[in-house]
């Protein structure tokens, strides 16, 4: 009886795992490319589908920095690049009276235009779309460009 119960629990766990998908969206200005790549590899090692969404440049940087991560886990991650509109990239002003890094403002403004492409990906594309439940781990900054309605 106990083994039957364990088998049912394992089946339920497997079914539950098949219904979950994870989408990681790093906020590149904070240097979260590496941390979310590590988290993505950890999650994919459990057999969950993971999509890593960012700009082409940031995906390339994240892939280059995979030292020490299991290549099999990296291979399971579905990378999706979102085109970022061109924006000015002024140098920092060390003499500015403001402590805010004003040179990052154009990048922040450009990231706001990414909401629609993120929402389209979230709802229509990729392995994660097949999942009944989707998870998008983020920190306080990670959700800036992608408030999604599931």
Query: For residue 21, what is the enclosing H or E element?
Result: strand 20-24
pLDDT at 150: 41
Look at residue 148 in the predicted model and tell me its pLDDT: 43
Average pLDDT for the chain: 74
For tokens 């500015």, what's the residue? 96
What percent of the chain has pLDDT above 90? 5
Please, which residues bridge with residue 141 across strands?
Answer: none
Residue 96, pLDDT score: 86
Q: Could you identify the residue written with the tokens 């979260």?
A: 32
């Amino acid at each position: 009886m106990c083994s039957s119960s364990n088998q049912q629990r394992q089946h339920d766990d497997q079914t539950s795992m098949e219904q979950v998908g994870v989408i990681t969206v790093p906020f590149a200005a904070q240097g979260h490319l590496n941390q979310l790549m590590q988290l993505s590899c950890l999650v994919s090692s459990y057999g969950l589908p993971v999509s890593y969404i960012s700009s082409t440049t940031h995906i390339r940087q994240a892939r280059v920095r995979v030292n020490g991560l299991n290549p099999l886990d990296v291979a399971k991650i579905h990378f999706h690049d979102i085109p970022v509109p061109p924006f000015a990239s002024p140098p920092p002003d060390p003499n500015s009276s403001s402590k805010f890094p004003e040179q990052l403002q154009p990048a922040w403004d450009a990231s706001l235009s990414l909401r629609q492409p993120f929402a389209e990906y979230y709802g229509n594309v990729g392995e994660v779309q097949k999942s009944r439940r989707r998870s998008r781990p983020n920190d306080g900054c990670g959700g800036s460009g992608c408030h999604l309605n599931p």
